[in-house]
Structure 1
Amino acid sequence: MTTETANRSETRARLRRAARLCAVQALYQMEVSGQGAAAVTRQFRDHHFGHDGEPGDYIEADEDFFEDLLKGIVERQDEVDGHISQVLKEGWRLSRLDATLRAILRAGGYELLARTDVPPAVVINEYVDVASAFFDAPESGMVNGALDALARRLRTDGP
């Protein structure tokens, strides 16, 4: 792999990582505010994401990936929630989880279900990292366990 190819790959990974974090934040915002996906997507594009030459502190993210995640999660939420509910430990209900934790599981669940271009191990690692940004070890471990179990159910290419 050339240095240029490696740099492009690292940049793509960094921009997607930011898009995943923003998607989780957007899902949380949608849940607590009651806003729809289109309004929140517009708000993130207008006020959170930066473009070359713009002043201010903005997040550099893969905006198209962010929008695909958010749109897909909303469109397939019942399906994603059903799969997540099947892998939660007995006695746990998705509706009773913290809203941020629910958003993380939904985003990771959607990627495992619909974004087959992303290897399961990448999905799991990325969302465990997102969980670690918000929570301590127990929640990150729960995200790891749930997404690993979900990957085993949904993907033949393994976790």
Structure 2
Amino acid sequence: MTVSPAARRKARHYAMQALYQWQMTSAAINVIEAEFHTDNDMSKVDTDYFRELLHKIPQQLSDLDGAYTGFLQERDADELDPITQALLRLATYELKERIDVPYKVVINEAVSLAKKFGATDSHKFINGVLDKVAEKHRAVEVQATRKSSS
């Protein structure tokens, strides 16, 4: 069964919100997941993807944070606002673990969510960090894309 890009996009949208809630409240992941299924119309959401993101990202926090913190320029990881942190974790997870999703899609989705939920211009920061994460974890794909567009 193929999943529509819109259903995947909604899964990311809700996963980012759920991860934000988890970061802010430390509530159990299963409780947050149940709340999202109760409070939102999940009929047009890739719920399997939502569930994967919501459960796997907290399990890999130190690895995911370590994968992007070296690219934060002048900032410290603990200075990141919770939305930026949730988006970087989500996108870094996808870049590292979901090679079936093109890296440009991962970055574009994170930038789009940052424009919607993040602080002013946070999308530019997120784009810059994720470009570097992609170069490291998707080097072959990034190089292939650059060669084909030149």
- Interval of TM-score (by shorter of Structure 1 and Structure 2): 0.7 to 0.9
Q: Give the whole-Å Cα distance in 2 for the aligned partners of 1:81 and 1:136.
A: 20
Q: Give the whole-Å Cα distance in 1 for the aligned partners of 2:65 and 2:51.
A: 19
Q: Give the whole-Å Cα distance in 2 for the aligned partners of 1:68 and 1:97.
A: 24
TM-score (norm 2): 0.87
Q: Give the whole-Å Cα distance in 2 for the aligned partners of 1:50 and 1:154.
A: 31
Unaligned runs of 5+ in 2: 146-150
Unaligned runs of 5+ in 1: 1-7, 52-59
Q: Give the whole-Å Cα distance in 2 for the aligned partners of 1:136 and 1:31.
A: 17
Q: Which amino acid aligns with 1:14?
A: A
The answer as to whether partners of 2:115 and 2:121 remain within 8 angstroms in 1 is no
Partner SS for 2:41: coil
Alignment of 1:86-125 (within 5 A): 86-89=70-73, 91-125=74-108
Q: State which of 37, 44, 58 in structure 1 corresponds to 2:29.
A: 37
The answer as to whether partners of 1:84 and 1:94 remain within 8 angstroms in 2 is no
Deviation of residue 94 (structure 1)? Answer: 1.7
Deviation of residue 137 (structure 1)? Answer: 5.2
Identity of aligned residues (%): 32
Count of equivalent residues: 142
The answer as to whether partners of 1:127 and 1:143 remain within 8 angstroms in 2 is yes
CA separation of 1:136 and 1:76: change in aligned 2, threshold 3 A: closer
Superposed structure 1 runs of 4+ greater than 4 Å apart: none
